[in-house]
Amino acid sequence: MSQAKNNIMIETLKNSYTPAIVGSILLLIFGRVLSKGFLSINNISSILMMTSILTMASIAQAAVIISGDSGLDMSIGAIMSMTALFGPMIVLQSEGASVAVMVIAVIVMGGMVGLINGIGVQFLKVVPLVMTLIMSSVVNGFSIFITKGQPAVSVNDALLGISKQLVGPVRILSAIVIILLVLLEVFFLRKSNYGRSLFLVGNNTNAANLCGINSKWVIIFAYVFAGAIAGLAGLMLVGYAGTAQMNMASSYTMLSVAAVVIGGTKLTGGKGTFIGGALGALVLILIATILQALNMVAGLRSLIQGVILIAILMVNSRAPKLRQ
């Protein structure tokens, strides 16, 4: 009985990934046609690294979206920028220890913002879109306030080391993210009690409550989780880029939403995967890189990105006919 269930689950999962996988392959081929060096190890590794960071952002976003009730987190970019600015400020005796403390610090920072988001959404009943949007404004203002515009310190070498090569096109950063992705998907989302409650709550809050699940806290924790992961993503971003600037991660917010949707998660909640978000991130980064390689004028690039996104949405994400 459970074997059959597993098979069905695998089948449905495969189905929602197919567009993203097919799209990525097509894009890779197209890129190779455009420019000889596209499939070179260097290029692939830089694509993988950028995808890794976007994947972290989309994991955060996916958790919130799955929690349902039109859940959305528009503060992910702001949280990333904030931890990118503050993280490297932590300096200890040993560089390795610094990084360890940094990781904990950014998770806590991001988590706190997430907590505020969650409380606003659940207790104050502010719609997630607006709550997180305004928090992003507050977080950005806070970042400016604390750093006075000048991120004070340079990034220590241990953190910069995530860009070092591991094997082939895979760098340390990409490896870390891939491992995290699989761990979170399997242990956090699918197998844990929390994961199951998350899906139930996302599907139907009332029913979940009747089953004895405290939906309020499930949802709040989703936001805390999202904030923590976004915080971590910000630290990775500054490790990759080597410096931090204000608002450097602002584009990640909407990109994470797009990535999650392309990967097959429904915006209405209750269904979705982290891996789908990662695939969506890959597609988006490939599109951006190809457009860059084509050396197009900025306006035309935006235009094409928008058109591609609409096309994907029209194929992938239509709500069912009302007649049902």
Partner 1 sequence: MKKRIISIIIVVSMIATLVTGCGSGDSTKNATTESTDASEEGFVIGFSNGYWGNTWRAQMVEDFEARCEEYKEDGIIADYMVSNTESDATEQLNQINAMIDAGVDALIIDPVSPTTLTSAVQSALDKGILVVIGSDPAAYEGTYCVCGNDAAFQSILTTWICEKLGGKGNIVSITGEAGVGTDILRQDAAAEILAKYPNIKELASVPGRWSETEAQSVMSTYLSTYDNIDGVLTQDVMAEGILKAFENAGETPSLMTGDTVKSFLTTWSEMDDFDSIGVTYTCGFICTVLDVAVGLLQGEELNESALVANPYDKNLKNTIMLDPTYVVTREGDQDAVWMEGHDLSKAITLDKALEMVADKADTNFLDGWLSREEVAEAYFK
Partner 2 sequence: MIKGKKVVSQSFFPSLLLLVIFFAIMGVMNHGLTLSFVKSLILTNTPALCLAIGVTVTILVGGTDISLGSIVSLVNVVIITLAGLGYSITISALIGLLVAVICGVFNGIVIGIMRVNPLLTTFATSTIYAGIALWILPNPGGSIDYAFAKWYMGGLFGFIMTPVMLLILLVFIWAGAIRTPFGLKAYALGCNEKKAYASGINVNGIRVLVHTFAGLTAGVAGICLTATICSGSPTVGATMSLNSIAAAVIGGVSLNGGKGGIFGAILGAGFLSILSSIVVAANFSSYSQSFIKGLILLIGVIASILAGDKVLKDKIKGIFCKGGAKS
Residues that bind partner 1 (CB under 8 A): 35-38, 40, 42-43, 45-46, 49-50, 144, 148-154, 163, 165, 171, 237, 241-243, 245-248, 289, 292-293, 295, 298
Report what 26 binds from partner 2, partner 1, none; CB cut-off 5-8 Å by kind.
none
CA proximity to 46, closest of 171, 139, 162, 154: 171
Cβ pair 250, 73 in contact under 8 A = no
Smaller CB separation from partner 2, 163 or 247: 247
Site string for partner 2, 144-183 (x = CB under 8 A): xx--xx----------------------------------
Report what 319 binds from partner 2, partner 1, none; CB cut-off 5-8 Å by kind.
partner 2
Report what 284 binds from partner 1, partner 2, none; CB cut-off 5-8 Å by kind.
none
237 forms part of the interface with partner 2 (CB under 8 A): no
CB burial readout 230-254, b (16+ within 10 A) else e: bbbbbbbbbbbbeebebbbbbebbe
Total number of residues that touch partner 2 (CB under 8 A): 49
State which of positions 86-125 bind partner 2 (CB under 8 A): 120, 124-125
Sign of the CA dihedral running 236, 68, 255, 279:
positive
Angstrom CA distances, 37 to 94, 149, 163, stand at 39, 38, 20
Q: For residues 95 and 288, give the distance between their C-alpha atoms in angstroms, rounded to a whole number.
A: 34
Cβ pair 230, 79 in contact under 8 A = yes
- Residue 89's Cβ-side half-sphere holds a number of Cα atoms within 13 Å equal to 14
Q: For residues 34 and 249, give the distance between their C-alpha atoms in angstroms, rounded to a whole number.
A: 29
292 forms part of the interface with partner 2 (CB under 8 A): no
User: Which parts of this chain interact with partner 2 (CB under 8 A)?
Assistant: 70, 72, 120, 124-127, 129-131, 133-135, 137-142, 144-145, 148-149, 254, 257-258, 261, 267, 297-307, 309-310, 313-314, 317-322
